[in-house]
Structure 1
Amino acid sequence: MDLSTTYMGLKLKNPLVVSSSPITAKIETIWECADRGAGAVVLKSLFEEQIVAEIKARLSKEEMFFWYPEAMDHVSTISRGQGVKNYLRLIEKAKQHTNIPIIASINCITPNEWTYIARELENSGADGLELNIGKLASDDQDPGAKTERYIEIIEAVKTEVKLPIAVKIGPYFSNLTYTVNKLCHSGINAVVLFNRFYRPDIDINKLTLIESSALSAPEELLQSLRWIALLSNKVECDLAASTGIHDYDGVVKQLLAGANATYLCTTLLKNGIDYLQTILIGLERWMAQHNFETISEFKGLISKRHNLTPEFVRVQYMKKSTEEVALY
């Protein structure tokens, strides 16, 4: 049985990608991921010093609750000199002792001087680069200008490296189909759907913002599942599904929708890195039950079979609404 797939132009032995997380911040756990069967690893994001300084200057502690979980982990302590040096060493060690793609990750918000770091990542042996572009969902910015800023960052990085590039984005765009197409046409190799913002809660006794869980729930899979299905036949770059994928069922669903790769994080934090084997066994068993020998035989099958046009989606919404009314 062949579980291989292509993502970012890279050959993966299977579609299970360990996403940027505490798991991928240490060489020991990266080795463990490779040993337990991961198809690829995205390293914990590197935050460039200029970006961190800008965040510190502009955002109060409460406003930071709306940032990405990994930004919250590092924004107050990261140092470019030591951070980059250690990061480059991490890439080198990972490449020396694993045989899977090692994808570097940069969390960025501007196309400024930090882009030279991408070249250093490439020189250290990274197989690909994921840009985790951290524009705040609440930014008071014209939607078109927001997309153009993404393009500016991509173009700045592409002048520095020949690495395949993926861009990880959130779901908060006024026209997501247009945005993803625009990003793909900029020359990147993949788009990751979706990044996950912190969801702040409110303590009604202390009258202050408090943290909610940074971990995803299985039901959060549905948002990326919908958009993978809608976009997989409409864009020219690879798509990876992220957030809410907790078991082999989630992996299979995303592949049926058209994903090239599936990102895993919370489920490994909860169940351990060994759980990669459980997911792989479940995927192989499902494929055998349905007489599939390769991933390519069923990748995007649901999207193609149901022709998920906006009109089709609209009709399904109307049918569901009518059924709900009938219940009462």
Structure 2
Amino acid sequence: MADLKTKYMGLELRSPIIAGSCGLTSDVEKMVEMEKAGVGAVVLKSIFEEQINEETSGVFKAGYGMSDAYPEAEDYIKTYIRSNTIQKYVELVRNAKSRLTIPVIASVNCFSGGEWISFASQLEEAGADALELNVFILPVNEFRESAEVENVYFEIVKSIKSQIKIPVSVKISHYFTNLSAFVDKIKAYGANATTLFNRFYEPDININTLEMGAASVFSTAAELRTTLRWTGILAGKDKKLEISASTGVHGGEAAVKLLLAGATTVQVCSVLYEKGIHVIEDINNFIGKWMDTKAFKTIGDYRGMLSYSSIENPDLYERAQFMKYFSNKQY
């Protein structure tokens, strides 16, 4: 019978399927349900640096701070809002750890270094088994060199790792000139794993009202392709790199593909909303039955079997142009 147990950042997981950071993982009862369905670990809903900054600035825009008359009040209120938000998140970690037996991974969405990351030690003390850093810096400043942008990521990782002992994964996008080199440096700065990829807020335009809005927040199965490509390439180039593959995973087949490409774990999110938490059990069952048909006993028996360096023609991962793919086809 297939054994789905695996290790991720040194943590023992009963399944490679992880519930990714989302609204559902801010609810302890939902996470208990996920554990019963067979998930290997949960990543808590992110605490956002940007959200805290906006909440504090919103107070003063509304005129509650009276910072012109009492400048010290602004610092006090900012500190209070920040501390209160962080304390609520710390309590979420504690509550999750008290109810769950599976690993609980805290999540921080940040775009700068400095004092913001100092509270990571509070998450460790609260019992978080690991920390996922969700970092994305949109390079809109044309006077800022790409190396400067990348250095912010490295400084965040280095600072976090200097403060905590629990493992750290860095959740990134694929918007880098040389993703392989970037991931290699992230690892060199101390990251224990990399999550591919974070899913962003995407803008949309309503042509009837002539207003800007938000596109759908959920992924589609078609988005698996980018995740699959880079999982295979990066896992093939570094056999020791731990990858948690995310975005586009809507069923057991997608999970198996990512494991074959070299993923250590696979994160699900959108599908939990669309099909319900019970889909975790369906995905695990699919993986187990597929392994039985192929006579694989453990995840390690086939993980990375079809990564970049393991297949006869790695060009299949590199092909980017439509015509290049069809250039040898005869019609």
Flag whether TM exceeds 0.5 (same fold).
yes
Q: Any residues of structure 2 matched to 1:29-40 within 5 Å, and which?
A: 29-40=30-41
Q: Which deviations, in whole Å up to 9, do the C-alpha atoms of 1:108-139 show, x marking residues without a partner? A: 11111012210000000000000001312545
Please say which of residues 286-295 and 91-100 is displaced more in the overlay: 91-100
Q: Distance in 2 between matches of 1:109 and 1:39?
A: 28
Q: Which residue of 2 aligns with 1:230?
A: 233
User: In structure 1, what is the Cα distance between the partners aligned to 2:48 and 2:246?
Assistant: 20
* Superposed CA offset, 1:38-97 (max 9, x none): 10000000124786249979xxxxxxxxxxxxxxxxxxxx94232222211111121122
Amino acid at match of 2:231: I
Alignment match of 1:122 (pick from 124, 129, 150): 124
Distance 2:114 2:156 in 1: 8
Range 201-210 or range 178-187, more displaced: 201-210
Residue pairs, 1:38-187, within 5 angstroms:
38-48=39-49, 52-53=53-54, 79-136=81-138, 138-140=140-142, 141-187=144-190
Q: Which of 312, 321, 324 is the equivalent residue of 2:326? A: 321
**In 2, are the aligned partners of 1:50 and 1:114 still within 8 Å (CA)?**
no
Please list, as runs of the form range in 1=range in 2, the aligned pairs for 1:137-286 lying within 5 A after superposition: 138-140=140-142, 141-235=144-238, 236-286=240-290
Secondary structure at the aligned position of 1:302 is classed as coil
TM-score (norm 2): 0.86
**8 A Cα contact 2:52 2:85, kept in partner:** no
Unaligned 5+ segments in structure 1 are 58-77
Alignment length (residue pairs): 306
Q: What is the identity percentage for the equivalent residue pairs of Structure 1 and Structure 2?
A: 39
Q: Runs of 5+ in structure 2 lacking a partner?
A: 59-79
What amino acid is the match of 2:173?
G
Please identify, of 307-316 and 41-50, the stretch whose mean Cα deviation from structure 2 is larger: 307-316
Aligned to 2:10: 9
Deviations 1:255-307 (A, max 9, x none): 00000000100001111111111111111111111111100001000114315
Counterpart Cα distance in 2 of 1:55 and 1:80 = 8
Change (3 A) 1:319 1:154: same
Shift of 1:207: 2.3
Q: Write the distance in 1 (CA, Å) between the matches of 2:182 and 2:270.
A: 27
* Alpha carbons of structure 1 residues 288 and 244: separation in structure 2 relative to 1, 3 Å: same
CA 1:160–1:38 in 2, change beyond 3 Å: closer, same or farther?
same
Q: 1:261 to 1:113 in 2, by over 3 A?
A: same
Deviates more, 1:121-130 or 1:234-243: 234-243
Matched residue SS, 1:156: helix
Taking the TM superposition and a 5 Å limit, the aligned residue runs for 1:306-317 are: 306=311, 309=314, 313-314=318-319
Find the aligned partners of 2:56 and 2:230 in 1 and give their Cα distance. Answer: 30
Distance 2:103 2:320 in 1: 42
* Residues 208 and 137 (structure 1), Cα distance of their counterparts in 2 relative to 1, 3 Å cut: farther
* Corresponding residue number in structure 2 for 1:305: 310
User: Aligned residue for 1:66?
Assistant: none
- 1:190, distance to aligned residue in structure 2 (A): 0.4
- Residues 260 and 128 from structure 1, CA distance in 2 versus in 1: closer, same or farther, beyond 3 angstroms? same
Which letter maps to 1:270? Answer: E
Q: What residue is the counterpart of 1:293 in the other structure?
A: 297
Could you tell me which amino acid in structure 1 is paired with residue 9 of structure 2?
Answer: M
Offset, 1:309? 4.4
> Partner of 1:70 in structure 2?
none
Secondary structure of 2:105's match?
A: strand
Flag the structure with larger Rg: 2
